[in-house]
Amino acid sequence: MNAGGIVLSLCDRTGTMVLPWIEAGYSAITVDLQPAPREHHRRHHIVADITQWRYPAHLPRPVIVFAFPPCSHLAVSGARWFKGKGLGALIHALQVVDACRRVCEDSGAPYMIENPVSTLSTYWRDPDYTFDPCGYSDPYTKQTCLWVGGGFVMPEKVQIGDLFAEPTCVEPVLGSAILNFSPTADRADTRSITPPGFATAVYRANAGRV
């Protein structure tokens, strides 16, 4: 692995979150049930169930950890379907979140667990932060919650009109990401893609501290 250190991202097939780190010379490990849509020589993608996966003991500890547990059975936007899904779907979803939490906390590194507004606030605890992508240069809204630890630094969003700071807060001209995606087979994957502007902002806020 690269001398810059290893960045770990869980339940992440796209790798958008780790791309700024890769471009800066870090190596990345991503773990997801699905294959990665593209390869990168600094990214090692592992197809695995996070509830069964363990970080390899022979590798150096990651410098930062990200986690994106699936929200299909947790997000309040789909609450009207909860009853029909049954307890099994909820239990498994929470097991995935708990597995991500365990890996994050065991790493000893700064970490961030992401989910939209969801029932995690009921079953776990309130999030540490919330944000919309339009606060970090991505022109759409999708209220997103973060549970963080290990010294993770939340990047500051910049208000519209502040011309001397980055990232730039922009008008959400594309509207709501949740409402605008068509009901296709890959809708959940598309909705879950990390906003690139936010990924860059997180890198800028944390790279000098890891």
pTM equals: 0.81
The rounded distance, in Å, linking the Cα atoms of 181 and 190 is: 8
Digitized pLDDT (tens) for each residue of the chain, 210 residues in all: 445 899 999 999 999 999 999 999 999 999 999 999 988 889 999 999 999 999 999 999 999 999 999 876 565 454 444 555 556 678 888 999 999 999 999 999 999 999 987 778 888 999 999 998 888 878 787 889 999 999 999 998 755 444 444 555 566 655 565 555 444 444 445 456 789 999 999 999 999 988
Number of CB atoms found within 10 A of residue 136's CB: 24
CA dihedral 13, 15, 17, 21 (to 10 degrees): 150
Complete domains list, the chain, with CATH: 6-206 (3.40.50)
Q: Which residues of 48-80 are buried (b: 16+ CB within 10 A; e: fewer)?
A: eebeeeebeeeeeebbbbbbbbbbebbbebeee
